[in-house]
Amino acid sequence: MNLFITGGAGYIGSHVVKALGEAGHNLLIFDNLSTGHEWAVLYGTLIQGDLADKKLLKETLSNFKPDGVIHFAASIQVEESVRKPIAYYLNNVANSLNLLDVLGELGINYFIYSSTAAVYGIPEVIPITEQTPLNPISPYGASKVMVEKALQDLSHAGGFNYIALRYFNVAGADFMGRIGQAYKETTHLITRALKTAKGEFPKLAIYGTDYPTSDGTCIRDYIHVDDLAQAHILALEYLLETGRSNVMNCGYGHGFSVKEVVNITKKVTGVDFAVEETGRRAGDPPVIVADSKKLRELTGWTPKHDELEYIIQTAWCWERSLNIS
């Protein structure tokens, strides 16, 4: 298949490109390289371009004639989105609308969208199903809800089919250490813990120990990036076969506390790094765990790497090979 992938040089996009490339698809990757990297694109052809450039987008798409589109390109830092909401709405919403507009003009009707558990905000009931009310608490989460809404309206208008995949806490790296997370700055727990083990930070802060959980720290559903990549392939196959638009959670359905993550990270790295228990980080829900029944039942998705130790091992292997400090 001819597949057009925006943001395919980024962390999750590059793992999906790898999986699609291994499956023999013909890929065109469109990325402005603002946070992605050329070296991360293991398959296909990379075009450096921005979704704000509708002319380039139209030219590229009318030449390539994709059977489907997977749209990763977005700004993804929650805290930054609070400081720069308009930048987030422009990049995540306006640019997605540009893309959808061009796809509509060219009659390209199969679309997989990168969404997030941040659309749920602070949910009252765990595990989170796709019916859980959408109450984003950051401009980042709100930008994803807005695009989901546009997709829903577009599919109601007829002829357009999409699946929005709502990612939980994505972590880990390619098992051969070829690609992984390489952001200049990261706020994510596993990456920060590994960088602390590596000596890049003097200590790791644990944000809050007074949450209503067994050890007082927040619980998250960590999913290996290669399992998430597989979910994209299966969702696309499902969409092409059935033409049924849908929204699906992507997580394992169980979680680990911050303290559990810290302990496993210490075990995997063999480094007893310093930890400091600090106050809560604003906006952190106590527990975020997916109900991923829909993804499993409709697409046949069966995770292969549902083991936190493996997730951290692959991330550690990758992290040690990185010279970005």
Q: Which stretch binds ligand UDP (CB under 6 A): 59-67, 188-196, 301-309, 314-322?
A: 188-196
| Total of residues contacting ligand UDP (CB under 6 A) | 15
Contact call for residue 293 and ligand UDP (CB under 6 A): no
Four-point Cα dihedral 295, 261, 176, 184, nearest 10:
100
CB of 253 to ligand UDP, least distance (A): 16
Residue 87 vs 282, nearer CB to ligand UDP: 282
Contact 161, 245 (CB under 8 A): yes
Whole-number minimum distance, CB 100 to ligand UDP, in Å? 26
Please tell me the distance from the alpha carbon of residue 290 to that of residue 124, in angstroms, as a whole number: 13
- The SS3 of residue 278 is strand
Long-range contacts (CB closer than 8 Å, 24 or more residues apart) made by 40-46: 40/9, 40/10, 40/11, 40/14, 40/179, 40/182, 41/8, 41/9, 41/14, 41/17, 42/14, 42/17, 42/18, 42/178, 42/179, 43/17, 43/18, 44/5, 44/8, 44/17, 44/20, 46/8, 46/9
Per CB under 6 A, does 258 bind ligand UDP?
A: yes
Stretch that binds ligand UDP, among 136-144, 173-181, 187-195, 294-302 (CB under 6 A): 187-195
- Listed ranges 184-192, 237-245, 265-273, 293-301: which one lies at the site for ligand UDP (CB under 6 A): 184-192
Residue placing its CB nearer to ligand UDP in the complex, 99 or 268? 268
- Cα(207)–Cα(277) distance, integer angstroms: 6
281 binds ligand UDP, rule: CB under 6 A = yes
Active site residue 140: yes
Please confirm whether the linkage preceding 127 is cis (ω < 30° from 0). Answer: yes
Site membership for ligand UDP, residue 247 (CB under 6 A): no
Q: Which of 88, 110, 120, 140 is catalytic?
A: 140
- Closest CB to ligand UDP belongs to which residue? 218
Residues near 116 by beta carbon (within 8 Å), at least 6 away in sequence: 76, 140, 141, 144, 166, 167
CB of 312 to ligand UDP, least distance (A): 12
- 198 belongs to the binding site for ligand UDP (CB under 6 A): no
Task: Report if residue 206 touches ligand UDP, rule: CB under 6 A.
Answer: yes
Using CB under 6 A as the binding rule, the residues of this chain from 113 to 152 that contact ligand UDP are none
Could you list the residues that contact ligand UDP (CB under 6 A)? 169, 187-189, 192, 204-207, 218, 220, 258, 281, 284, 288
Instruction: Provide the annotated active-site residues.
Output: 140
